[in-house]
Structure 1
Amino acid sequence: MSQPEQTTTFDLDAAAFRAHEGGKLEVRATKPLRDRDDLSLLYTPGVADVCLAIAEDPSLSRRFTARNNTVAVVSDGTAVLGLGDIGPLGAMPVMEGKAVLFKHFGGVDAIPVTLESGSVDELVEAVVRLAPSFGGINLEDISAPRCFDIERRLRERLDIPVFHDDQHGTAIVVLAGLINACRVLDRPMSSLTVAVSGAGAAGVAVTQLLQLAGVTDIVVCDSRGVIEPGRADLVAHKQQLADTTNPRGLRGSLGDALVGADVYVGVSGGTVPEEQVATMAPDPIIFALANPNPEVHPDVAHRYASIVATGRSDYPNQINNVLAFPGIFRGALDAGGVQISEEMKLAAARAIADLVEEPSADLIVPPVFQEGVAEAVAAAVAAHAS
């Protein structure tokens, strides 16, 4: 594999590079190794009976290995943050960072596993073969539409939690924010008309979770406009959206979808012209979540909207997946490593929303570092485990 030409000069002594020097993870033992007696217990001969017991009853691996608290953060580097397809090595700093967040917020040990990109069959088979070492699989930064098939097939083949955070983590926190936005504005969620910009991983999951929560009027747009049955260019996941959304039968562009809309959810990038924002319903809700540049700049959004959220940490109402995924996995692992259901996702969103005791226009989700978020999400998830 040829190396790409070096086209950018980076300051390798800059603070961001220093923060990543040597990687962000290490392995530490949880049991002391002080002498020959410890060695004989932790390794041979003491380990033999433990191995044989697990071979006879595989469920014992959750008790007598680290597996029940270890998640694989799996990516092929094809859709990394806003960076695109930068490959498995380029993705590693992000996956290490994800592992740090798992540990800090949820007490979950996470191991980055970056794979050479291949077919859906190849990636699924690779993860299935790795899975016995882990209590859960967090899929990360895998391009659409492959990510949908990969997650679905892994859920079918594995008996441990499989969760694509770019889809469901985003959707859970969006729903939490919208729950509290409705509380602030005293609006029933079922009355909302919602325009979603973006039909990739996040857009699909946001749409589906909002529907489960009772939103019935959602119009989804991609780069070519409103997704509706009359379009002949729809791949499978967009055809499903065409069949299950847009009850008013709208056609045209995102601008057409925004006319009279109560809510805008941007998970696509680009820029929404101010004149289109101005056509939304009075006092709308705007979630412009692209990073680092929101689809609607907050200064523009606040001219029209009653509530504004972004994906950035320097504005109020940051819709950040870290509010969800550490607690989601903590709860699923604590419940015995069960699959993550739609009911668990809804419960997680409600738990996040309920952590804001007095919602306001500038506080619809908890701050990222608010204590107790992961614990509350974990408890809600575990309570809905079947």
Structure 2
Amino acid sequence: MGGGAADAQRAEALRSRALAYHAAAPAGKLAIEVTKPCTTQAQLSLAYTPGVAAPVREIARDPEFAYDYTAKGNLVAVVTNGTAVLGLGRVGPLAGKPVMEGKAVLFKHFAGIDAFDIEVEARDADHLIDVVTAIAPGFGGINLEDIAAPDCFRVERELQERLDIPVFHDDQHGTAVIVAAALRNALIVQEKNLESVKVAIVGAGAAGVAIARMLQSMGVQRCFLSDVHGVLHRGRKDLSPWHDDLAVAPEDWTLAEMLADADVVIGVAVRGAIPEAALPTLAPRPVVFALANPDPEIDPRRVRQLRPDAVIATGRSDLPNQVNNALGFPYLFRGALDCRARRIDTGMLLAAVDALADLAREPVSDAVLAAYDLAPDSLRFGPEYIIPKALDPRLRERVAAAVAAAARRSGQARR
């Protein structure tokens, strides 16, 4: 069987398993669990009328009591308008619901956070902002998901200004945190430093913009981006205001020139966006992150063949160094909720970067080896292990604690 036919067969098998998984009764992936006993008349009188009036009065007197008497302090809204779902594009909010349910599953499984998926049929960005603002009082945080650029930048910014709870667009900052942690360790392996490397980011959507800003906050001096229309530079008239400060490349640069002598290439685009012809032109000991899923921007096997000196990461779970947002958003919110943070600021994001990078340099626990059916000493810090595994049980304690501590230092924490 040819490679293409085999790939098609595997894809169809995965499709069939996924549909059966989601259709098994009860359909979907979520349910609501009652946390208090309700088996007697006395208990029901506390859960609802007349007893429920007591916390109502306390919250009316001081809204902060909502954290003490309701689920608000451990509840996140996962919100989408369905305009940029996975690699499928504008499929609409209802079609995006399985992804939002999946996000809620990860919140609960990894961080013990309850989450409601909220799919909004929004007319435009203003409508989405108004809807989220209206539902926000009952939640401890808002996770924005699969909202197309450039609206995603404005939606997040305006909601952060309106609300006093964390508002976080995971496609931007969750990706940026994991990429930054992986890159910090990759550069240690390659014996380079952030301040001196040339970084080329292929893809200037939500993830690319956030990665660029995160790396700049960490000390990267030379960071260039491209999109489907070319390299970002001052002469481009088609860029949004959100790209202006990142359009720093020379106006005559092509993609090939942006990639030439790059120490770091980060793909957050589509299959084929990083040309194979660019590999020989990269700097010695390069770092190549090809993060499009399921098909990376360049075949990582070809990168390994043509540049054996490279450290490589992808978004795929079947290859080493998976850049997986599940390493970030559950624990960022866990830390933020634990200290009742007003927002997730840059200091909290950088604390997560440091915690993730540090953990990958520690010996791998037996629990991780067992979860991935790996032999002792088969996983250690180096070119094929620069970022922790998603099932590492130490992530919750390490990352959440670092985020909460950073929130207290910056004054974002309520407690």
Q: Give 1:233 deviation, angstroms.
A: 2.1
User: Where in structure 2 are there 5+ consecutive unaligned residues?
Assistant: 1-11, 363-379
Q: Is this contact kept in 1: 2:150–2:205, CA < 8 A?
A: yes
Equivalent position of 1:4 in the other structure: none
Partner residue, 1:363: 385
Q: 1:115 aligns with which of 120, 130, 134?
A: 120
Q: Do the aligned partners of 1:183 and 1:359 also contact (CA within 8 Å) in 2?
A: no
1:61 aligns with 2:80: no
User: Counterpart of 1:30?
Assistant: 35
Which TM-score applies when normalising by structure 2? 0.88
Match of 2:288 among 270, 274, 286: 286
- Give the match's secondary structure for 2:93: helix
Shift of the 13–267 alpha-carbon distance from structure 1 to 2, 3 Å rule, reads closer
Counterpart residue number, 1:384 = 406
Look up the match of 1:330: 334
TM superposition shift of 1:13:
9.4
1:173 aligns with 2:173: no
Which runs of structure 1 show a deviation greater than 3 angstroms over 4 or more consecutive aligned residues?
Answer: 10-13
Q: Which amino acid aligns with 1:184?
A: V
1:172-229 per-position Cα deviation (integer Å, ceiling 9, x unaligned): 0000001111121221111110000111000000000000011110011111211011
* 1:346 is the counterpart of 2:368: no
* Mean Cα deviation higher: 100-109 or 275-284: 275-284
Task: Check conservation: 1:139, 1:165, Cα contact below 8 A.
Answer: yes
TM-score (norm 1): 0.94
Q: Note the aligned Cα RMSD (angstroms).
A: 1.5
**Secondary structure, counterpart of 1:290 in structure 2:** coil
| 1:314 paired residue number | 318
For 1:16-27, what aligned pairs fall within 5 Å after superposition? Answer: 16-21=18-23, 22-27=27-32
Pair 1:373 & 2:403 matched: no
Using the TM superposition, give the Cα deviation of residue 251 of structure 1 relative to its aligned residue in structure 2, in angstroms. 3.1
- Distance (Å, rounded) in 2 between the aligned partners of 1:55 and 1:296: 56
Deviation at 1:250, TM superposition (A): 5.8
> What is the deviation of 1:12?
12
Q: CA deviation at 1:238?
A: 2.0
Match for residue 45 of structure 2 among 40, 44, 51: 40
Per-residue CA distance 1:343-375 (angstroms, 9 max, x = gap): 110110110111111520000000111111122
Tell me, yes or no, if the aligned pair for 2:235 and 2:251 is still in contact at 8 Å.
Answer: no
Q: Partners in 2 of 1:253 and 1:348 — Cα distance?
A: 35
SS in 2 for 1:81: coil
Percent identity of paired positions between Structure 1 and Structure 2: 50
Give the 3-state SS of the residue equivalent to 2:312 in structure 1. Answer: strand
Contact persistence 2:190–2:286 (CA under 8 A): no
SS at match of 2:265: strand
| In structure 1, C-alpha distance between the alignment counterparts of 2:15 and 2:45, rounded to whole Å | 45
Q: Deviations over 1:47-72 (max 9, x none)?
A: 11110010000000011100100000
**Does the 8 Å contact 1:173/1:323 carry over to 2?**
yes
- Asked whether the 8 Å contact 2:190–2:285 carries over to 1, the reply is no
What's the secondary structure of 2:49's corresponding residue? coil
Between Structure 1 and Structure 2, how many residues are aligned? 373
Deviation at 1:121, TM superposition (A): 1.0
Partner Cα separation in structure 2 for residue 264 and residue 19 of structure 1: 36
Paired residues of 1:147 and 1:201 also in contact (CA < 8 A) = yes
Aligned with 1:71: secondary structure?
strand
Which residue of structure 2 lines up, in the alignment, with residue 255 of structure 1? 256
The aligned runs of 1:208-223 (5 Å cut-off) are: 208-223=213-228
Q: Is the 8 A contact 2:107 2:115 kept in 1?
A: yes
- Taking the TM superposition and a 5 Å limit, the aligned residue runs for 1:153-192 are 153-192=158-197
Task: Name the counterpart of 1:265.
Answer: 266
